[in-house]
């Protein structure tokens, strides 16, 4: 089947572009002699996670326990949940997973460590954790050196927790004002992460893993400092309009949403059959990832989505309008592909205009 014969809305993935994106990131990791652990929250498909491992990735990262369970059930055996996991229900699920796969997760407080220690009592395998270091994103992670040292001291007294390493996420790179500013964020976040790693070494911990990552800071061959062992970019596999802004080109955007023109009600207005429930209502308005509107139209670089309702995209452009008729199909390149994938049950792998595979988004909706 030709891809434009698909019913819409439909999530499309260009196989050749996606494969090249994976090759380039693996080449980057290999150049700096670090492991690549792709964050699979971008694509949420065990099929693509296995492909990334086949191309050289060490394992995968996920965001939620539910994603880890799906990935483990589909053959992935080295999984890091790059998030703080809190609560007996979730920790017991990890405890069960640890019986069959190599699984680790994020930690950033003594209160959380106390929960983990209690739940993993009697487990054949201790909980494998990585302490998260806050490096400027202003999200989770240890901020103060004193709190970090206190947490390390607490872990020394734990019998059911193994400190595998530390990790950080320079998500503030998305809002960097320039490529050079992004480079500085990338380097400063590594320096801070390595500073905290040094403290752990000095306190007698042997860290297996020092993990960093975000896609914008890994698209321009910025250096990876000695002591970092692993990178965790995610969006690079599919890219999107905001990542295209980082490199100044849409050519590496592997994913798009096919949509049908359902109305041309004015001389400028175009309505298509996908809205917030298929492409989200996310914007990118700051820094190197800034984009125009709510998504771009493939093949029409100056045309963007003006607004969305739940099931409608609204576009205003007379030239675009005049080139279309009701029933035509166009492709939208989303601003942020990660939440878009989560809205679709399947993705269609495309090669040379043909649908070659329908891939279930098997981690879709796994929010717990």
CATH code for 3-10+242-360?
Answer: 2.40.37.20
pTM of the predicted model as reported, rounded to 2 decimal places: 0.96
Q: What is the pLDDT of residues 275-288, one digit of tens each?
A: 999 999 999 999 99
- CATH 3.20.20.10 spans which residues of the chain? 32-237
State mean pLDDT over 153-158.
98
| Residue 343: per-residue pLDDT | 98
The pair phi, psi for residue 220, each rounded to 5°, is -125, 25
Q: What is the 3-state secondary structure (H, E, C) of the chain?
A: CEHHHCCCCEEEEEHHHHHHHHHHHHHHHHHCCCEECCECCCCCCHHHHHHHHHCCCCCEEECCHHHHHHHHHCCCCEEEEEEECCCHHHHHHHHHHCCCCEEEEEECCHHHHHHHHHHCCCCCCCEEEEEEECCCCCCCCECCHHHHHHHHHHHHCCCCEEEEEEEECCHHHHHCCCHHHHHHHHHHHHHHHHHHHHHHHHCCCCCCEEEECCCHHHCCCCCCCCCCCEECCCHHHCCCHHHHHHHCCCCCCCEEEEEEEEECCCCCEEEECCCHHHHCCCCCCCHHHCCCCCCEECCEEEEECCEECCCCEEEECHHHHHCCCCCCEEEEECCCHHHHHCCCCEEEEEECCEEEEEEECCCCCCCC
| Residue 32: per-residue pLDDT | 98
State mean pLDDT over 192-209.
98
| Residue 30: per-residue pLDDT | 98
- CATH 2.40.37.20 spans which residues of the chain? 3-10+242-360
Q: What is the pLDDT of residues 243-266, one digit of tens each?
A: 999 999 999 999 999 999 999 999
| Residue 50: per-residue pLDDT | 98
Residue found under tokens 């109305």: 263
Ramachandran category for residue 138: left, alpha or beta (phi over 0 → left; psi -120 to 50 → alpha):
left
Alpha-carbon distance of 15 to 363, in angstroms, equals 20
Check: CATH 3.40.50.280 for 32-237? no
Residue 128 binned pLDDT confidence (cut-offs 50, 70, 90):
very high
Q: What is the pLDDT of residues 223-244, one digit of tens each?
A: 999 999 999 999 999 999 999 9
Burial class from Cβ neighbours inside 10 Å (0-12, 13-18, 19+) for residue 188 reads middle
Spatial contact of 253 and 13, defined as CB atoms under 8 Å apart: no
Residue 271 binned pLDDT confidence (cut-offs 50, 70, 90):
very high
Query: What is the chain's mean pLDDT, rounded?
Result: 98
| Residue 223: per-residue pLDDT | 98
State mean pLDDT over 46-74.
98
Residue 336 binned pLDDT confidence (cut-offs 50, 70, 90):
very high
| Residue 241: per-residue pLDDT | 98
Determine how many CB atoms are found less than 10 A away from the CB of residue 248.
9
Q: HSE-up of 83 (CA within 13 Å, CB side)?
A: 20
| Residue 16: per-residue pLDDT | 98
| Residue 275: per-residue pLDDT | 98
Residue 217 binned pLDDT confidence (cut-offs 50, 70, 90):
very high
Residue 146 binned pLDDT confidence (cut-offs 50, 70, 90):
very high
| Residue 127: per-residue pLDDT | 98
């Amino acid at each position: 089947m030709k891809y434009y014969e698909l019913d819409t809305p439909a999530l499309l993935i260009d196989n050749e572009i996606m494969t090249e994106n994976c090759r380039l990131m693996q080449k980057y990791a290999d150049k700096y002699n670090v492991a690549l652990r792709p964050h699979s929250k971008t694509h949420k498909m065990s099929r693509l996670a296995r492909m990334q491992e086949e191309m050289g990735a060490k394992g995968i990262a996920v965001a939620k326990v539910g994603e880890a369970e799906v990935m483990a059930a589909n053959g992935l055996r080295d999984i890091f949940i790059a998030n703080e996991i809190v609560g007996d229900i979730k920790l017991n699920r990890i405890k069960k997973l640890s019986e069959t796969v190599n699984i680790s997760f994020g930690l950033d407080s003594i209160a959380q460590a106390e929960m983990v220690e209690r739940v993993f009592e009697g487990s054949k395998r201790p909980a494998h954790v990585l302490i998260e270091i806050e490096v400027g994103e202003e999200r989770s992670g240890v901020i103060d050196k004193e709190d970090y040292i206190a947490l390390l001291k607490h872990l020394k007294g734990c019998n059911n927790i193994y400190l595998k390493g530390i990790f950080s996420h320079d998500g503030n790179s998305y809002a960097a004002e320039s490529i050079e500013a992004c480079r500085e964020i990338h380097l400063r976040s590594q320096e801070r992460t390595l500073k905290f790693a040094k403290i752990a070494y000095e306190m007698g911990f042997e860290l297996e893993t020092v993990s960093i990552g975000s896609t914008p800071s890994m698209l321009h061959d910025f250096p990876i400092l000695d002591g970092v062992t692993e990178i965790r970019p995610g969006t690079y596999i599919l890219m999107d309009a905001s990542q295209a802004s980082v490199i100044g080109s849409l050519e590496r955007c592997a994913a798009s949403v096919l949509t049908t023109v359902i109305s041309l009600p004015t001389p400028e207005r175009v309505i298509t059959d996908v809205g917030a429930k298929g492409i989200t209502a996310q914007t990118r308005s700051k820094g190197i990832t800034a984009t125009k509107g709510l998504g771009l139209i493939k093949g029409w670089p100056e045309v963007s989505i003006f607004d969305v309702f739940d099931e409608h995209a609204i576009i205003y452009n007379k030239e675009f309008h005049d080139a279309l008729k009701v029933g035509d199909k166009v492709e939208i390149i989303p601003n942020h592909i990660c939440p878009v994938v989560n809205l679709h049950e399947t993705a269609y792998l495309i090669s040379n205009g043909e649908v070659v595979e329908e891939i279930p988004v098997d981690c879709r909706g796994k929010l717990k």
